[in-house]
Structure 1
Amino acid sequence: MEREIVRLDMDRDFEAFEELSVISFGEGTNSKKEMYQWLFDKNPYNKSGNMMYLLKEGDKVIGCDGLLPNELYVNGKVLLTAHSVKSMTHPDYKKQGIFRTMTQNSCERGLKDGVDVVIGLANDQSYPAYQRFGWPTLFEKEVYVKPILINNILKRRIKVGFLASMGNAVYSSYMKNKLKNQMDKEITFEILDRVPEKVQECWDKYKSKYSVMLVRDYKYLNYRYNERPDVNYVTVLAKHKGEIIGFAILHNSVANGSKMTSAVEFFTDPTSERYIKSLADGLAKYCYENDLEYVVIGTGLYGKYKKALLDNGFMITRKPPKNNMMIANILSDRVTLEEITGHENWHITQGDGETELDL
């Protein structure tokens, strides 16, 4: 039967696309049509339509790969980049070169639409294939976690509920008091249920202090967090003398029976340990006020983020994140591999890549 590569049409192809997603990633994969319509069709960085492509054999979808375009800030330049996402091959069609074919198709279509560089956070299954394709590895992502409440941790260790509750009460009382005493009295926090347009001022103020990161201006943040239809995010603004000096965007959820929050965005002056520490303190305060047990932050090694977070009680997670190898394929001469290689050059967050989107 003849095969063809087509652009994903939500009305025509979504049911077959969803079926392959469940086969590839399990029942826990996000299968909400309105989420994919927002993510693919309504992306404001699209040039000629969505950049998701299906390999069809008749009406059956046997492969998929595509790009999520956005902007990348590299040493003062703003480039069009795209995340490689939804790489899937039907298990009945393995070892036929479909992964390579679909990856090449995505890059060719991206180049036609002006994409300068394709990036992706590969997992242990896809990473070897990208290495065979010759895609360079830029760095291995780290994730940091800070325990806020330890009731569940103690329950798992000592197996006695009331002792765990007592231990947690003592610990949290001590840590709350410690946090209260260490917080910068000149920095205040505002909690919002939407990302406000005024975050643009913060981006404009500090962007030139970074080397490599996705553009975190209001256009991107509004699309990515305000317009997403299936998740409600929380925005934390840090202010000094009424001026925004940093922001975090939080996704509250439950993982392994524990209430937690993931800082999908965490942005401030990368050269200021004071501001980084204060923003982290603001997240801890928010967690105590909302009975959240721990907070997770992903960041690059650029600036003073790592030092400030580790000094603030964060720890590198014992297990690496599921998608942790940052890879790239440069498509234009507007950027060099040297400019974007190395964890020390990057600021990266939990909002980057497929994991936060539950793809």
Structure 2
Amino acid sequence: MWKSLKYQPENLPETIEMTREYYGDSWISDLQFLKWQYEDNPAGSAMIRLARDVESGQLAGQYVVIPMAFKAFNELIHGTLSLNTLTRQIYGGQGIFTGLAKAVYQDCAEEGSRFCYGFPNPNSYPGFLKKLGFTDLGRVPLLLRPLNTKALVKKKLGPVLAQLSWPFHQFYKVRNHSDARYVVYPLSDSDLSGIDAFWAKVQNKYPIIGVRDTNYLRWRYFDIPLRDYQVYGVRRQNSSELLGYIVGRCTEVADMSSGMIVDFLVDSEHPAAGRCLVNSLLRFFVENNMDLAGSLMLAHTEESRILKNNGFLTCPKSLEPQPFPVIYRKLGVTKDNNRVGENASDPFLQLNQWFLTMGDYDVI
């Protein structure tokens, strides 16, 4: 038998112990990472419910969301991102997942959060839809671009075929496509002065978009423990006005050295500035010996078109390491258990209304 209780900061050590038992030693069970994720978020502290065994006193599971600020249809609203969900194996089948989740949603609704969204893995995906009433909005396409075709072919098919890939290697070679009208430069946590003005200009570019102001970008990409990101801004020659930014990270994906484009947003009046950002980041990846570049980007966005113009291709679903579904649940329940406003005409249920990148969740 278990009971639900609201998380307090003093519960963090025992949640880490439970998380390590479930996930092993990784960023998701690291003290500093979780303090950053749960306590330092400029949108607010994490909303967490814990399940405790009433007899043994040990934790049996957790359900976690973190607040995320959004600009949606010209209104500043708060949603929540679902992450780090787990139930200890010996407590499976006791309704912990659904019980804690519904309690968290009630807590969030009382705090004014309008919705919950997530990018579930294949194991948790069915539970969110069948047990918690989430809607699958669709998949975010994975875009890929070879950086070192010979290395990729050698790893997957062997050295003989790698020699035959030389024409493709030349075709996908990253070249310097600088534009004399624009200057691309590294952004640092000590100099984000142009971000708020840029955000004020582009915040209505898409109907639903996560807030990308100075406080958010500093927290998400500069204050984060255990990860290093490369962040570039772009401006016109002889001007200090920021026209866009791009965020990249060098990592390993499926045993391949991969440069991931984590976030990318550009002023719609300057698509050529966006092309300069992509080219600069690709050259950074090559300098750091990445063999493949990747990005999650919705097809209807201008940023997706810019990536495709820079050699990115949509990965076939059969070759994806896993699907990337977006799930959504409106918070607030009516007496007949239907969430207010959640129907086929709800614009939040249309994925083509959203702007989402890897930066809108926590895996990369």
TM-score bracket, normalised by the shorter chain, equals 0.7 to 0.9
Give the drift of 1:54. 1.1
Match of 2:19 in 1: 21
Give the drift of 1:73. 1.4
Per-residue CA deviations over 1:249-304 (Å, capped at 9, x if unaligned) read: 22222334433222221111357643443332222222233332222211223432
Match of 1:300 in 2: 298
Q: 1:263 aligns with which of 251, 261, 264?
A: 261
Match of 1:232 in 2: 228
Q: 1:92 aligns with which of 90, 93, 104?
A: 90
TM-score by length of 1: 0.86
Q: 2:182 aligns with which of 176, 184, 187?
A: 187
Match of 1:343 in 2: 351
Q: 1:100-249 counterparts in 2 under 5 A?
A: 100-132=98-130, 133-157=132-156, 159-160=158-159, 164=162, 175-176=172-173, 179-180=175-176, 182-194=177-189, 196-241=192-237, 242=239, 243-249=241-247
5+ residue gaps, structure 2, are 333-338
Q: Is the 8 A contact 2:140 2:325 kept in 1?
A: yes
Matched positions, count: 348
AA aligned to 1:32 is D
SS at match of 1:156: helix
* CA separation of 1:175 and 1:138: change in aligned 2, threshold 3 A: closer
Match of 1:59 in 2: 57
Match of 2:360 in 1: 352
Q: Please say which of residues 112-121 and 22-31 is displaced more in the overlay.
A: 22-31
Are 2:28 and 1:30 aligned? Answer: yes
SS at match of 1:122: coil
Counterpart CA distance in 2 for 1:67 and 1:158 is 42
Are 2:313 and 1:315 aligned? Answer: yes
SS at match of 2:358: coil
Give the drift of 1:25. 3.3
AA aligned to 1:208 is N
* CA separation of 1:321 and 1:113: change in aligned 2, threshold 3 A: farther
Q: Percent identity?
A: 19
Counterpart CA distance in 2 for 1:126 and 1:157 is 30
TM-score by length of 2: 0.85
Q: Is the 8 A contact 2:328 2:349 kept in 1?
A: no
* CA separation of 1:127 and 1:222: change in aligned 2, threshold 3 A: same
AA aligned to 2:330 is I
Give the drift of 1:26. 4.4
SS at match of 1:30: helix
AA aligned to 2:202 is Y
Counterpart CA distance in 1 for 2:301 and 2:252 is 31
Counterpart CA distance in 1 for 2:172 and 2:114 is 47
Are 2:325 and 1:329 aligned? Answer: no
Counterpart CA distance in 2 for 1:227 and 1:276 is 25
Counterpart CA distance in 1 for 2:311 and 2:185 is 23
Q: Is the 8 A contact 2:184 2:276 kept in 1?
A: no
AA aligned to 2:92 is K
Counterpart CA distance in 1 for 2:206 and 2:3 is 42
Give the drift of 1:108. 0.8
SS at match of 1:209: coil
Give the drift of 1:99. 1.1
AA aligned to 1:187 is Y
SS at match of 1:78: strand
